[in-house]
Amino acid sequence: MIRKLTTTTSVIALAAALLPLSFAQGAEEEALVLEEITVTAQKRAESLQDIPIAITAIGGDQLREDDISNLQDIGNRTPGLAFAAFSVGQPEIAIRGIGTKEDGASASDSTVVSVDDVYIAARTAQVFDIFDLERVEVLRGPQGTLYGKNTIGGAINFVTSKPTEETELRIRQTVGNYGRFDTGAMLSGQIAENLFGKFSFSRRSHDGYLTNVLQGSEHFGEQWGESNTFAYRATLRWLPTEKLEVMLTADGADDNMGASNREPFGSAGPLHDCGCASDPIAVNEALGGAGDPHTTLSDTEGFTERDVEGYNMKVTWDGDSVTFMSISAYRESTFDWLEDSEGLPPSSAFVPLNVSPANFLAPASSGFAFDVNDAAIETTEQITQEFRLLSNSGEKFNWVAGLFYSHEEVDRTESFFFPSIGLEINGEQFPSAMASIQTNESNSYAAYADASYDVSEQLTVRGGIRYSYEEKEMTAAADVTSGIGLLLQDFDKVAASEDWDNVSWRLVADWKFDDNSLAYASVATGFKAGGFTGSASTAERATTPFDNETATNYEIGIKTQLWDNRLRLNLAGFYTDYKDLQVTRFFQPQGGTFGEFITENAGSAEIKGIELEFTALLTEGLEMGGSYSYLDAEYTEFDGTPDVSGGGDFSGNRLRQAPEHMLSLYGKYTHQLEDGSELSAKLSYRYQSLSFYDPNNNPITIIPAYDIFDARLGWTSADNHWNVAAWVKNLTDEDYVTHIFSQRGSRIAFATYGDPRTYGLTITYNY
């Protein structure tokens, strides 16, 4: 930890030392100006620097330059956003320490993710390798009065480019190590009079990063973790009159990915520190898997298959004084997933719980006694409709009002198989196998309004309100098909329903010191509906809802452009008071066998933090930028369900997935050659301090701090048609953890690691 903090401090000190020097060197350079960034975070096109919201905007050029293709890459460049994933289809997004771990059919997200104003309900369907992105906007903190759906943690908006009147063509081809071969293309232009179209696709593939090292296995020596993904988007833009625009879009994705690896990360007594078959660290060492997270000892080859498709229609009518929008969308998805949850082979010494548990103490070389395979099949359907009315900009008083409706259906079956634990009857062994069968139907309704008034040329006051109503109807059943129910007890289908409503609001005052400086202060509230625990162990738990959560966020900020518009510096400080925060735990109750899932409400939590973003044009060819966030997030009142440790009071503990420090820096140098072409070199760095992943702050469920470097060297032709770039990601080949989870009352833990060093060459043609 000391090494990590020293590294970060050194980088900050170096940046601080270089900035004044660079300013002095650039004094005699010809005028340089940062490009204006336009966003639609407040439902109308505005300059990033003119809106009183903490927001990160990543433009299309940067998205392509840094090969940003997923939520992990977005998180790496956003202060206060920590991204993790239990699996490819189960992302866990936390903004300012607020996220959702619950992955059951009745879960709600803390962060709203949308593409072109269409809310994506299912986390298993959040596919974003979109080749025609114009920008990504990340809004931090509650955004209740500008969005129809719950946005208690923040919002991530993916904005694609519109079909163009002039013909545009872009083709990308990438090759790299691990057999990487990516192809993408976009074609946009006029089809007929007043009709324009665009089609884009992205195909990515690479071989696996994992090597199976399980001696004697049929899989020994195989490469696992390969990926083959395909995403497309087709859009028609029709302009029947000068005031009316109709956009029709169809998109889809087909993903096929190989096995992931869960690396044994920690074990503690009793029973799991014995150096025997119930000790995952000992098993990993005994079988030769320790020391390299990119190897696996699993005898089960997992996979992920995902299909997503969506259709939407956006109608915009521009009147003289108001603009009306209608956004209608339908989406559906299927998700099929299997993994070995510990990355170890099952113990050959079967443990019959009805005879004797002594085989838990078998030699570590026999395999892992508590090995479990986890599988899930989920299908989703979603219908959303939003009507929005906006005043046309230009007057002192501006407003937006809207109505929102969504209908979601989820069918999910999650299965668990314990090959080394079960029952023995008449000398025959019955390994434990069970399944949780869940359905959920949700209906959400909201009405919202937000307005601003220019009191003077400097002072603007804003306010907004939203009423939300959400109802959920669920069914659940548990089927123990073999052995004993280690996670679930047999129960027939049960049903339950619940509803929640809320009024959220915000008040903001912002002051413009001059054309390039804005200060603001705001108070905003947020709401997330309750739900039902997924993969619940009993019928009673399955039908007992957890409550909704609410938040009040106090924030001050300043947005400035200094040094003749060559330095952009945005700073925000905030304090958030949370009530009834939803917390998901996998814990072992007293007298329990393996563990159980539960989602319950913490009484309260407090979050304080500071976020900084900057971009500087130091000289004509030298650019530097980055972000930093400090986060202090803790449960102030949380009496959770006691587990085998004897207590459940987590008051004073740090929130899950809330690193104290996050830092991102980049430097880019561009040099123009005599023929008019350009060479560019870019070095990027990011740092994340340690973060906890269990509310008890157990030391074996800590993600350690890490540093990551990326590098890129590019050439652009004089006519801007061609770009060739060589790149390296994870330059130092750092072994870093991206997700961790615990079992058996936080006595054993397993981690997922980030990608190893990858490198390649990308050629792009633009017309």
Query: What is the structure's pLDDT at 135?
Result: 92
CA distance 89 to 303: 11
Query: What is the structure's pLDDT at 122?
Result: 86
The answer to whether 193 and 218 have CB atoms below 8 angstroms apart is no
The answer to whether 92 and 739 have CB atoms below 8 angstroms apart is yes
CA dihedral defined by 669, 673, 678, 684, rounded to 10 degrees?
-20
Furthest-apart CA pair in the chain: how many Å? 90
CA distance 471 to 315: 28
pTM score, whole prediction: 0.92
Query: What is the structure's pLDDT at 587?
Result: 83
Beta-carbon contacts of 514 under 8 Å, excluding residues fewer than 6 positions away, are none
* Domains present along the chain, CATH in parentheses: 2-766 (2.40.170.20)
CA distance 260 to 753: 9
Beta-carbon contacts of 9 under 8 Å, excluding residues fewer than 6 positions away, are none
CA distance 73 to 81: 11
CA distance 411 to 164: 40
Give the DSSP per-residue string, 677-704: -EEEEEEEEEEE--EESSTT--GGGEEP
pLDDT along the chain (767 residues), means of 10: 40 41 42 88 90 93 86 87 84 92 89 91 79 91 81 91 95 97 97 97 96 95 95 96 96 94 91 94 96 94 95 96 96 96 95 85 95 96 96 87 96 97 93 97 95 95 95 97 94 97 96 94 95 94 95 97 95 97 87 83 95 96 97 95 81 96 97 96 97 92 96 97 98 96 91 96 97
Residue 122 class from Cβ within 10 Å (0-12 exposed, 13-18 middle, 19+ buried)? buried
Residue 23 main-chain phi, psi, to 5 deg: -60, -45
